Amino acid sequence: MPGPLPFVTLKLATSLDGRIATSSGESRWITGEAARREGHRLRAAHDAVLVGSGTVLADDPELTVRLDTPTPPQPLRIIADGRARTPETARLFATLDLGPVAVATLDAGRRWPEGVSVWRLSPGPEDGALPPQGVLEAAAKAGVSSVLIEGGGVLAGAFLRAGLVGRLEWFRAPILLGARGRPCVGDLHLDALADAPVFVRREVRPIGRDLWETYERDV
Ligand SMILES: NC(=O)c1ccc[n+]([C@@H]2O[C@H](COP(=O)([O-])OP(=O)(O)OC[C@H]3O[C@@H](n4cnc5c(N)ncnc54)[C@H](OP(=O)(O)O)[C@@H]3O)[C@@H](O)[C@H]2O)c1
């Protein structure tokens, strides 16, 4: 019998108007140093971190925990990469000595760098995309019980649409990026307000010049 799915936290670092990047894709750094440090603590508190291939292509992130305190075991770094677009030269692959990396993909043919775990999934029945539930099932099989999604908006939208996000950790910077900025949550396919996912606010605290809000899914 399959075990429970990992608990999913979505971390967002946005402008006041909920944008994660400018229209050109620039996102470093929207929030301040203190918020980014908390981001590293959140990483350290989860078994795995997960990003979409769009984020890997735009930012080439390392996704390791970088704190002054002694480093805990690095979380598993998972790329949701249906079309296998992550380049061989990605920093995630260059830092396999620092911590493990897994790729969840629909692609059957590509060769991946040695040491990378490859989770080959079948496309979701509705949109043909990498199925969020399948990614979590594969993570559970790998011993993961908590996942921190670090973006981007398209991937966040897919996991929210599937009802799989249990908590939001939202860092909001006092800037505005306007309608051409990239939204922090992609399409939720919503027409009726009654169908919107609802969260309960648990905590709000100032952090440097930013605001850190925590919400939990209202079930
Ligand atoms: N401010 C922040 O904290 C922050 C954090 C992260 C990113 N960003 C910014 O956000 C931008 C990238 O975000 P993004 O929204 O364009 O990309 P994204 O969400 O990182 O990645 C999108 C890709 O994820 C893949 N994917 C995997 N499973 C999916 C599913 N079920 N449904 C849909 N897509 C799925 C798709 O590629 P395949 O079809 O190949 O699977 C899709 O094209 C960059 O500009 C980056 O700088 C900002």
CA of 157 to the centre of ligand 1 (A): 9
- Tell me: pLDDT of 1 over 60: no
Atom of ligand 1 nearest to the CA of 11: 3
Mean pLDDT of the chain: 96
pLDDT at 172 > cutoff 80: yes
Domains of the chain: residue spans and CATH: 7-217 (3.40.430.10)
Query: In this predicted structure, what is the pLDDT of residue 2?
Result: 64
Residue ID of nearest Cα to ligand 1 atom 13: 152
Residue 3 has a pLDDT of 77
**pTM of structure:** 0.97
Residues with CB under 6 A from ligand 1: 13, 20-21, 25, 27, 30, 51-55, 58-59, 80-83, 85, 129-130, 132, 150-155, 158, 182, 186
Cα 154 to ligand 1 centroid, rounded to whole Å: 5
Task: Measure Cα distances from 29 to 14, 16, 60, 134, 169 in Å.
Answer: 10, 14, 14, 32, 17
Mean pLDDT calculated for residue range 58-74: 89
pLDDT beyond 80 at 34: yes
